[in-house]
Amino acid sequence: MTDTDQSVPGSASAKRASSSVAAEAKRRRTFAVISHPDAGKSTLTEALALHAQVIAEAGAVHGKSGRKSTVSDWMEMEKARGISVSSTALQFTYVLPDDDAECVINLVDTPGHADFSEDTYRVLTAVDCAVMLIDSAKGLEPQTLKLFQVCKHRGIPVITVMNKWDRPGRMVLELLDEVSERIGLLPTPLYLPVGIAGDFRGLLRRGKDGEPAEYIKFTRTAGGATIAPEEYLSAEAALSIEGDDWETAAEESELLSATGQDHNQETFLAGETSPVIFTSAMLNFGVRQLLQALVELAPPPHSRQSVEGEARDVTDPFSAVVFKVQAGMDSAHRDRIAFMRIVSGEFERGMVVTHAQTGRPFATKYAQTMFGRDRSTVDTAYPGDVVGLVNATALAPGHTLFNGPAVEYPPIPSFAPEHFAVLRATSASKYKQFRKAIEQLDSEGVVQVLRNDLRGDASPVLAAVGPMQFEVVTARMRTEFNVETQLDRLPYALARRTDAESATELGRQRGVEVFLRTDGVLLALVSDKWRLQFIQKEHPDLTLEPLVATAD
């Protein structure tokens, strides 16, 4: 398909292309897995890939002696700590058991730790649905609540997963009530667990439109490394096998129906209700049911608003937004990957597109799909797909690429940093590598890099949402660039946007230091909120504006 064909809307080839793109977009499901730390995101990601039969054996638990790390956690720090510190994209296909239709899954596993919430937020700008994982023993936790609010603000429908039901935990109705009362999202379970938390027998599939309930009985496998066998039984057979446990689940289902907590697709897509599934990602119980729910219920790609407020439909000419940049994924090649979410049109490897931020042409010769750290060349891709562009040094999170009519999507806001430190190379002979590393980590958005004349380029100040970001920086400096560094914390707690007119006076104030961020924004770092209040009272004419700190 040529650019000329695309530019003639009424041509036969353009109509065929539009129909093809629409059909391909309809097959896509692009979603993020999000939660509080240690709720089981990476384990669930692995289990979903296992059930889609794209891996033969799950990587199982982090930190267990002799076991593999999951495919979505590839950084050495992630493997050592058993946590995700960077979002990871996986693409695979899935065929519904009762249907020959093949669905393309674009799954992004995100870091759960609050220190990396900025990375998670970037991912949420690129997906159509979210899977919110909740630890059944702990219920809603602080980071879970924040992520729900982000999804609500962005209009992202949420499927809730009550995970770790194989461990002792809370009661079914207690967990559902907490979701309803604390975040105002009405839970509508698709399945209910048979057996209390810690004694997970199977799932009751709630009947739709008068259908009878069905029992899905699971059988454990060694270490949960393979797909758990499933047996489908009628309600009568389930009652004879499980007795009181089945009766309890059936009664809970009836109670939920009486209070209007049955799934409704319209209210789900409107962000008013959330389908709920109970799982044990560790044992692979309920994972296939989640995968099927995603295919059947999660929305396919849809139009996106540009900065001018105009909608770009999925069948319009190619456009995409970059939501993440990551280097160091392959130690053998030392390359840099820009992850883009295709918004509209068909992508063809090698096509020359326009970089909206510079107006310059951009060649897409090296394009790949991702499966954790593994990658393969992609020749074509469609709306909803996540594609990695190799060595795309001109691209940064929030940038737009397009073909045909110009379009630019809204930028991704930076969070307000709360932790600050000076970074130095321990050896002056490593300064060249040090400077290159700082530029790369800054462009990826790992941290914000601040400079002023007093400190100079040799001692940049790093600004982070959480202190663990500093650990990522020093670890990557050492492993990727062979540069040992020294990190000295600074006594600042707040950052405020300022301007050149205010900078001189602010520089004279005790407990304040002014820096230039890489994107050209002047930031005043202040020791604490009391010092800020004093300055604002004594110098009301100075510019001290809050930075974007949340999705609000």
Q: Does the annotation flag 38 for ligand binding?
A: no
**Most confident listed range (2-6, 167-171, 545-549):** 167-171
- Alpha carbon of 552 to those of 153, 154, 280, 415, 547: distances in Å? 7, 9, 33, 11, 11
Residue 377 lies in a domain: yes
Residue 183 has pLDDT above 80, yes or no: yes
The rounded percent of the chain whose pLDDT value lies above 70 is 86
pLDDT score of 67: 38
152 compared with 253, residue with greater pLDDT: 253
DSSP 8-state symbol, 283:
T
Which band of pLDDT confidence, cut at 50, 70 and 90, is reported for residue 151?
confident
Judgement on whether residues 284 and 359 belong to the same structural domain of the protein:
no
Q: Are 383 and 347 in contact (CB under 8 A)?
A: no
Alpha carbon distance 238, 243 (integer Å): 7
Q: Give me the pLDDT at residue 76, please.
A: 53
Element containing residue 533 per DSSP (H, E): helix 529-538
Are both 109 and 208 inside the same structural domain? yes
**Does residue 7 lie within any of the structural domains?**
no
User: How many domains in the chain?
Assistant: 3
The residue with greater pLDDT, 177 or 473, is: 177
Is 109 labelled a binding residue?
A: yes
Instruction: Output the domain CATH number for residue 434.
Output: 3.30.70.3280
Together in a domain, 233 and 144: yes
Q: 369 pLDDT band (50/70/90 cuts)?
A: confident
Same domain, 472 and 364: no
| Same domain membership, residue 498 and residue 351 | no
Residue 316 counted as domain residue: yes
Average pLDDT over residues 127-132: 94
Q: Does a structural domain hold residue 478? A: yes
Average pLDDT in the chain? 86
Position 60 scores a pLDDT of: 37
The per-residue pLDDT for 352 is 96
- Ranked by mean pLDDT, the top range of 11-15, 181-185, 343-347, 438-442 is 343-347
Average pLDDT over residues 254-271: 96
Lowest-pLDDT range, 291-300, 441-450, 527-536? Answer: 441-450
Is residue 114 scored above 60 in pLDDT? no
Q: Is residue 13 part of a domain?
A: no
Mean pLDDT of 15-44: 87
Residue 66's contacts (CB-CB under 8 Å, 6 or more residues apart) are: none
359/468 same-domain check: no
Q: What is the pLDDT of residues 212-231, one digit of tens each?
A: 899 999 999 987 888 999 99
Q: For residue 347, which phi and psi values (nearest 5 degrees)?
A: -95, 135
Kindly list the distances between the CA atom of residue 438 and the CA atoms of 75, 433, 519, in Å, as whole numbers in the listed order. 18, 9, 14
CATH number for the domain spanning 120: value is 3.40.50.300
Torsion angle (degrees, nearest 10) of CA 482, 487, 493, 497: -50
Question: What's the domain range around 192?
Answer: 28-297
Rounded to 5 degrees, φ, ψ at 317 are -55, 160
For the cut 50, the answer to whether the pLDDT of residue 169 exceeds it is yes
Residue 409 located in a structural domain: no
Would you state the pLDDT for residue 130?
A: 94
Element (H, E) at 480: helix 468-481
Identify the pLDDT of residue 209.
Answer: 75
List all residues 6 or more positions away from 467 whose beta carbon is below 8 Å from its beta carbon.
115, 419
pLDDT at 527 over 60: yes
Pair 426, 537 in one domain: yes
Residue 164 sits in the same domain as residue 290: yes
pLDDT in tens, 384-408: 999 999 878 889 889 999 999 999 9
215 shares a domain with 286 = yes
Give the CA-trace dihedral at 258, 263, 267, 273, to 10 degrees. Answer: 80
Chain segment 74-91, per-residue pLDDT in tens: 445 545 554 444 567 788
The predicted structure's pLDDT at residue 492: 96
pLDDT at 413: 73
Q: Would the pLDDT of 381 be above 60? A: yes
Last residue of a domain, one of 347, 376, 402: 402
What is residue 551's predicted lDDT score, i.e. its pLDDT? 38
358 and 433 co-located in one domain = no
Residues 116 and 168 in one domain: yes
Judge whether 118 lies within some domain. Answer: yes
Q: Do 238 and 102 fall into the same domain?
A: yes
Q: Is 110 annotated as a binding residue?
A: yes
Helix (H/G/I), strand (E/B), else coil: 43? helix
Residue 10 has pLDDT above 90, yes or no: no
Give the list of residues 6+ apart from residue 397 with CB closer than 8 angstroms, or none.
Answer: 122, 322, 323, 324, 325, 412, 445
111 is in an annotated binding site: yes
pLDDT in tens, 321-362: 999 887 655 555 556 788 999 999 999 999 999 999 999 999
9, part of any domain: no
pLDDT digit string, tens, across residues 264-293: 999 999 999 999 999 999 999 999 999 999
Q: What is the CATH number of the domain that holds 370?
A: 2.40.30.10
pLDDT tens for 479-514 read 888 999 999 999 999 999 999 999 999 999 999 999
Residue-level pLDDT at 73: 43
Q: Domain ends where: 267, 297, 327? A: 297
Boundary residue ending a domain (228, 262, 297): 297
What is the arithmetic mean of pLDDT over 37-61?
75
User: Which value, in Å, is the radius of gyration of the alpha carbons in the chain?
Assistant: 25
Query: Which of 93-97, 315-319, 429-433 shows the highest mean pLDDT?
Result: 315-319
What is the bridge-based pairing of β-strands 319-327 and 380-381? unpaired
